[in-house]
Structure 1
Amino acid sequence: MKEAVGFLVSHQPSKSVEELGDVSEQLAFIEQQVAYVLSIMNSQTECRQVVSVLASTRASVDQLISYMVTKNLQECMLHTDKQSDAVIEEAIAMIVKSR
């Protein structure tokens, strides 16, 4: 079963948050990717395949961070008494910190 899940995870392009529905589903997808990395590392799979899956996992995490920062910025802009510049600077700081 793990091999089937691993095959699906490693051969599917990284899905966007919108495609998966919500943040918890995206996190579950990332969790599957990490579990697959651990299993292929234990089976002494070629380094290039491990790196490929790790890169895909990183892309999934980056997409999730972008989605969350964007949604947070939208909410802050709609429901804040702060100046817009301060809200934008805060969002930029979150983006920079995530890199």
Structure 2
Amino acid sequence: MIQTVDQYVFLYRTLIEGILTMDITLSLQEYLTTRKLYMDIKSQYKLLEQLQSTVEFSYQGAVEPANLNKNRVETILAPDNSRPYLMTQVDKTTDYINAVFVN
């Protein structure tokens, strides 16, 4: 039986913690498997960080003044060798669209 406000607060906090953390128990085997998977992913990520791209891309179309407003994000540009070229009949427009072909 709860007799004081402090006991009520303690019980309330304990119940909230129990409800919010019900399904986070792991067996030793689950922990070891999860940890191994995490370490494998972490080591692969570190390796990827060390690798540098050997392919160079040209972004001439993307950085032309007439096309700058077509790029929503300044750091995400369509390389010239893999972007579609628009065929437009409208004067004073360009063939640029910030998109790429993907296989």
* Pair in the same fold by TM > 0.5: no
TM-score, with structure 1 as normaliser: 0.28
Q: Using CA pairs under 8 Å that are at least 6 residues apart, name the structure with larger relative contact order, 1 or 2.
A: 1
Q: Which structure shows the higher helix fraction? A: 1
Larger Rg: 2
